[in-house]
Structure 1
Amino acid sequence: MSNAVANGLAGAGGGIIAQIITYPLQTVNTRQQTERVSKQSFANSKRLGTLVQILQVIRSDGWGGLYSGLRPSLLGTAASQGIYYYFYQVFKNKAEAIAIARRAKGRGDGTIGMFSWLLVAAFAGSLNVLLTNPVWVLVTRMQTHTQAERKIMEERKEALLREASKNCLTGSALQDKLAELDSIKPRPYGTLQAVHEVHTESGIAGFWKGIIPTLIMVCNPSIQFMIYESSLKHLKTKRAARKQGSKNITALEVFSLGAIAKLGATISTYPLLVVKSRLQAKQEIGRNISLRYSGTFDAITKMIKYEGLPGFYKGMSTKIVQSVFAASISAVECCLVQQNDYSSVIPVDKGDEKQS
């Protein structure tokens, strides 16, 4: 089996396991990112911890609410990880061949430079994004469906109260109408319903919503790989220079390097992830124009206008925990699949390009 295929299978397996373990965090994080709150409301609001928000989802939607969209997410993760790892290895092999050829001509030391690492990761990431974006649009819709339905119901109540105030409608008639709205439960919502909704709203193009910030976010794994590969190379060089102990890279070291690399990449690209989630979530929430985005630039300008810079970092603490944990699990799993060859592993959490 070629290295490219082995890396693809290892990446898919590791990604699925990491996805299952961290999925509740992904669901809560997506809801945090897509929650529209004005500057004033954000300043006055009490920020709830991730655990409290998980409990709120369980109370309002049941345990199934934490796993909304899990099936397409697992399919997307397997495809995403497999595609990414496969093409990463293909491009890496070509980059190594070029580096060796350059050394034969007296240029370079035969190793891949940092800029080449970035290009390899960017090419693999771009292909992955273009092929799997429709899956992540569906996952985002499914994760935020009940949240969007709740917003719509709140808007209907506000409209009813405004109408009642204008027409001097009070008493039992108003209470009956409010009770009727409260009795309406969120519609059953699965993958097919999400497909129909996206297609109805925007046609085929709707399945590639958020593609611009997602493509830009290809720099996330590029930054991650730059930090990871550089750290790994430094660790190997330092260990070889000492000529002491085992030269093999341990699972703990891979876990640590993967966590550090993912932390740096997540912090630097998080605002793009929020914009992407906003674009992929249901747009028609009430009649408030500030809640609907026609594209990437429109989303950015409205978020700045109505929410300020804090809006771009909603749920970042949850994402850091989820991403670092998922990337590290995926890295160690890949190592085990590849017969403990930790030095060849390239950890990545494709949740950042979905929904992650």
Structure 2
Amino acid sequence: MSDALINGLSGAGGGIIAQLITYPLQTVNTRQQTDRDPKKAKRKLGTIEQMCQVVKNEGWERLYGGLTPSLVGTAASQGVYYYFYQIFRDKAEATARYRLKKGTGDGTVGMFSSLVVAAISGCVNVLLTNPIWVVVTRMQTHKKGLIEDKPTHNISSDDSVQIAAIEPPPYGTTNAVQEVYGEAGIRGFWKGVFPTLIMVSNPSIQFMLYETLLKKLKARRAEKGNTGVTALEVFLLGAVAKLGATVMTYPLLVVKSRLQAKQVTGGDKQHQYKDKQFVYASDAGTLDAILKMIRYEGLYGFYKGMSTKIVQSVLAAAVLFMIKEELVKWARLLLTSNVVSINKVKKPP
């Protein structure tokens, strides 16, 4: 099994576990990001308060709306990202070693090279998995309500007929897919891809910080004759790296969520994000969304739900890094032990 495949599978496994732990926070955060009411329109709810409100009004299951496609998306995203990251990383390391032989480097991958490797891996990941995240966003922002069961016969003013409210049919993955396709066809599944591609800088910054911090920690340990790094240390390094990346790129995340959420086709213009400069006038435009957010919500709109996102993303990233590194370590150990066992069997008496 190649090192790239080990890292890809380990990243997928770590991503799934991190997603299960932090998913309710992600659902609340997506709703906060797509809330288009001005700041003064209503009192701002805290994360825990909003979670309780969702449970009270819509049921606890709504905190896990879109969990199934999200797990698929997480496994696919982490698997694709780590697979291509390791491939490009290996090439960068080979290039660094070649330069060392030529006397033009120190044989290690620098910060800029790490950034480029992470960026290219992220672009491949975005282009392949964006449709999954469009569906997840729709399911997370869908709000469960009641449908009035109105009688079909005429009612006089004297009739005391009670209009009942019935539960709407469940909103699942198929509903979300049909909704997106009905709005914009196949191209609708790539809504928000432009800001998402720009957001590649988030994991790029994250991995650049992580690799740099990890490299420095190992170098410091090497001076004392110990190069090992504990799971807790990896957890903390992952948390710090994700915190820095999230603070820097959060506005792009809000814009992406706005574009991928269900668009309002009537009523207030401030809730409609369209850019007629594009070939397809029905597509929501990134520039139009940014301009309307600035006009109607101010800079505050770009940071809605940021505190929730910091908690969710930092916790998820820390868990992911810790579990991924442990899975990689155990996978390599298992493969090494198998090779040793096979060699012993093949060795002549």
TM-score range normalised by the length of the shorter chain: 0.7 to 0.9
Change (3 A) 1:113 1:17: same
Q: How does 1:55-204 map to 2 (within 5 A)?
A: 55-146=52-143, 183=165, 185-204=167-186
Unaligned runs of 5+ in 2: 148-156, 275-284, 333-349
- What is residue 212 of structure 1 aligned with on the other side? 194
- What is residue 349 of structure 1 aligned with on the other side? none
Q: Which amino acid aligns with 2:326?
A: L
- Counterpart CA distance in 2 for 1:140 and 1:21 is 18
Change (3 A) 1:256 1:10: same
Find out whether 1:282 has 2:262 as its counterpart: yes
The structural deviation recorded for 1:124 is 0.4
Find out whether 1:325 has 2:325 as its counterpart: no
- Counterpart CA distance in 2 for 1:47 and 1:71 is 30
The structural deviation recorded for 1:336 is 1.8
**Quick check: 321-330 or 283-292, which moved more?**
283-292
Find out whether 1:259 has 2:239 as its counterpart: yes
**Quick check: 328-337 or 104-113, which moved more?**
328-337
- Counterpart CA distance in 2 for 1:18 and 1:330 is 6
Deviations 1:156-184 (A, max 9, x none): xxxxxxxxxxxxxxxx89xx9xx96x936
| Structure whose residues are more often helix by fraction | 1
Q: Which amino acid aligns with 1:33?
A: Q
Change (3 A) 1:98 1:125: same
- Counterpart CA distance in 2 for 1:23 and 1:227 is 25
- What is residue 36 of structure 1 aligned with on the other side? 36
2:105 partner SS:
coil
CA contact (8 A) 1:146 1:186 kept: no
The structural deviation recorded for 1:46 is 2.5
- What is residue 337 of structure 2 aligned with on the other side? none
CA contact (8 A) 2:219 2:227 kept: no
Aligned residues: 312
Normalised by the length of structure 1, the TM-score is 0.83
Deviations 1:28-70 (A, max 9, x none): 00000000112542xxx32221111111111111111000000
Which fold has the larger relative contact order, with Cα–Cα distance below 8 Å and residues 6 or more apart in sequence?
1
- What is residue 47 of structure 1 aligned with on the other side? 44
- Counterpart CA distance in 2 for 1:79 and 1:196 is 22
Q: Percent identity?
A: 64
- Counterpart CA distance in 1 for 2:315 and 2:113 is 27
Unaligned runs of 5+ in 1: 154-171, 343-356
- Counterpart CA distance in 2 for 1:267 and 1:140 is 21
Q: Which amino acid aligns with 2:12?
A: A
CA contact (8 A) 2:221 2:228 kept: no
- Counterpart CA distance in 1 for 2:75 and 2:270 is 35
CA contact (8 A) 2:69 2:135 kept: yes
Change (3 A) 1:341 1:200: closer
- What is residue 227 of structure 1 aligned with on the other side? 209
**Quick check: 278-287 or 289-298, which moved more?**
278-287
- Counterpart CA distance in 1 for 2:65 and 2:262 is 15
**Quick check: 322-331 or 277-286, which moved more?**
277-286
CA contact (8 A) 1:10 1:334 kept: yes
The structural deviation recorded for 1:289 is 1.2
The structural deviation recorded for 1:341 is 9.3
The structural deviation recorded for 1:27 is 0.4
The structural deviation recorded for 1:232 is 1.1
- Counterpart CA distance in 2 for 1:22 and 1:323 is 8
- What is residue 12 of structure 1 aligned with on the other side? 12
Runs of 4+ in 1 over 3 A off after TM superposition: 182-187
Q: Which amino acid aligns with 1:26?
A: Q
Deviations 1:88-116 (A, max 9, x none): 00000000000000111010000001110
CA contact (8 A) 1:39 1:308 kept: no
The structural deviation recorded for 1:340 is 5.8
Q: Which amino acid aligns with 2:211?
A: E
- What is residue 151 of structure 2 aligned with on the other side? none
Q: Which amino acid aligns with 1:77?
A: T
Q: Which amino acid aligns with 2:187?
A: A
- What is residue 335 of structure 1 aligned with on the other side? 325
- Counterpart CA distance in 2 for 1:234 and 1:144 is 41
Change (3 A) 1:327 1:232: same
1:240 is matched with which residue: 222, 227, 230?
Answer: 222
- Counterpart CA distance in 1 for 2:26 and 2:227 is 36
- Counterpart CA distance in 2 for 1:286 and 1:56 is 27
2:37 partner SS:
coil
The structural deviation recorded for 1:237 is 1.7
1:36 partner SS:
coil
The structural deviation recorded for 1:239 is 2.1
CA contact (8 A) 2:9 2:79 kept: yes
- Counterpart CA distance in 2 for 1:193 and 1:33 is 22
Q: Which amino acid aligns with 1:63?
A: W
Q: Which amino acid aligns with 1:53?
A: Q
- Counterpart CA distance in 2 for 1:334 and 1:248 is 16
Change (3 A) 1:70 1:57: same
- Counterpart CA distance in 2 for 1:94 and 1:83 is 17
